[in-house]
Amino acid sequence: MGRRRQSVTIKHVAADAGVSLQTVSRVINNEPNVRPAMKAKVQASIDKLGYVPSIAARRMSGSRSYLILAINDRDRTIADWQARDGRDWVDQMLLGGMLTAAERGYRMIFELVDTHSDHVERELGAAIAALQPDGVIVTPPHSENPQITGFLAESGIPFARIGSTEEGPGIRMTMGDELLAGKATDHLIELGHTRIGFIAGPDEYSLAGWRVDGWREAMENAELDCEGLLEKGDFSFESGLPAARALLDRATPPTAIIASSDQMALATLDVAKERGLRVPQDLSIVSFDNTPVVRFCTPALTALDQPIARTAARAVELLIDLRNNGIPEAPVVVEGELIVRGSTARAPSERKN
């Protein structure tokens, strides 16, 4: 098995155009100080020969690898995958980031890393040493793991923290969770609901807290009481069941519930059926995810669409342009919207308050 060679290299182009290697390099990198005539001549040779630069060689020689690394939590990703659901994060990250990266001549590579392992740094370090990416995208809960963010900061590789606004190194990005929760709450208030329950996600995720904040603020703005209307889950279907039951077991149960994940929203739907409650006539439900399942369950759920793909795309752009623009001071917000479907309706008329 001999050495495998690139079919057309910069040398062939240089020879064909009758210029030096360096000039060809300048043209493909769109560098200044190349005369238009020269540029055209070189470009013609490139097109004629179908030359494409090797990213391996570029990495070897230059300061860029044209690779963006996206890391996700392995346990959660595999668990979601085996459950055959909720994989939208990975999926959307992939597509949003991949397409944007490809447009700029970059590639995105996914890496699954265990957040809760004591050798996160080693695992992540190995990936970085092997690939030498130009940027790293870190998703929750990695993005809030100081071991990981610290390691990345130390290694000097630019990175974007998605779902983390805490001061610190890296580009901070969110999907406006407070705003989203506020939108959902306002929607329900407009429909006349006054007792709006909220099922939160685990504390490990800052965004879980922001969502609660957004709900609480909207409630207080409307002078509504939050007392006893907050339950906690861990985003899973199973955790949603007791949370929904606790809310609906109250003496004056909520007429609407916002769940922090689609799985917990589906659990709420199940509990409603179990209690003989009609959705949306007796109980309105809003989900915080907008994965396919919430469209096809009955009724289709009103949901908050988190623009994960757009966020990933934006992260890729910011990382690529970092060398020119530097990192944004403030957190970058890529906001989503409320998609109204069949699970929310006017509040049932009250007999007593």
Closest CA to 160 of 98, 210, 97: 97
Residue with tokens 């993005």: 143
Closest CA to 129 of 41, 46, 65: 65
Given 15, 28, 153, 322, the residue binding DNA (CB under 7 A): 28
Least distance in angstroms from the C-beta of 325 to DNA: 18
The set of residues, in sequence order, having a beta carbon less than 8 Å from that of 23 and lying 6+ positions away, is: 14, 17, 34, 38, 42
Name 173's bridge partners: 162, 332
Closest CA to 344 of 184, 222, 229: 184
The set of residues, in sequence order, having a beta carbon less than 8 Å from that of 283 and lying 6+ positions away, is: 248, 254, 255, 256, 257, 272, 277
Mask for 8-27, x = binds DNA (CB under 7 A):
-xxx------xxxxxxxxx-
| Residue 256 interface partner, choices DNA, a second copy, none, CB cut-off 5-8 Å depending on type | none
Q: Is 161 in the site for DNA (CB under 7 A)?
A: no
| Residue 34 interface partner, choices a second copy, DNA, none, CB cut-off 5-8 Å depending on type | DNA
Least distance in angstroms from the C-beta of 7 to DNA: 8
Given 30, 50, 63, 251, the residue binding DNA (CB under 7 A): 63
Least distance in angstroms from the C-beta of 293 to a second copy: 5
d(CA 141, CA 155): 20
Q: Which of residues 176-235 bind a second copy (CB under 8 A)?
A: none
Q: Is 87 in the site for a second copy (CB under 8 A)?
A: yes
Q: Is 309 in the site for a second copy (CB under 8 A)?
A: yes
- Closest CB to a second copy among residues 51, 235: 51
C-beta separation of 341 from 295 below 8 A: yes
Phi and psi at residue 21, in whole multiples of 5°? Answer: -55, -45
Least distance in angstroms from the C-beta of 195 to a second copy: 27
- Closest CB to a second copy among residues 113, 258: 113
Q: In 3-state terms, what secondary structure has residue 26?
A: helix
Given 173, 212, 293, 308, the residue binding a second copy (CB under 8 A): 293
41, burial (CB in 10 Å: exposed 0-12, middle 13-18, buried 19+)? middle
Both tokens of residue 268? 């709420």
Given 62, 146, 150, 168, the residue binding DNA (CB under 7 A): 62
| Residue 84 interface partner, choices a second copy, DNA, none, CB cut-off 5-8 Å depending on type | a second copy
d(CA 269, CA 187): 19
Q: Which residues of 16-31 are buried (b: 16+ CB within 10 A; e: fewer)?
A: bbebeeebbbbbbeee
Site residues (vs a second copy, CB under 8 A): 1-4, 6-8, 50-57, 59-63, 65-66, 77-78, 81, 84-87, 90-92, 94-95, 98-99, 102, 105, 107-112, 122, 125-126, 129-132, 266, 290-293, 295-298, 309, 323
Site residues (vs DNA, CB under 7 A): 1-3, 5-6, 9-11, 18-26, 28-29, 32-35, 37-38, 51, 53-54, 57-58, 60-63
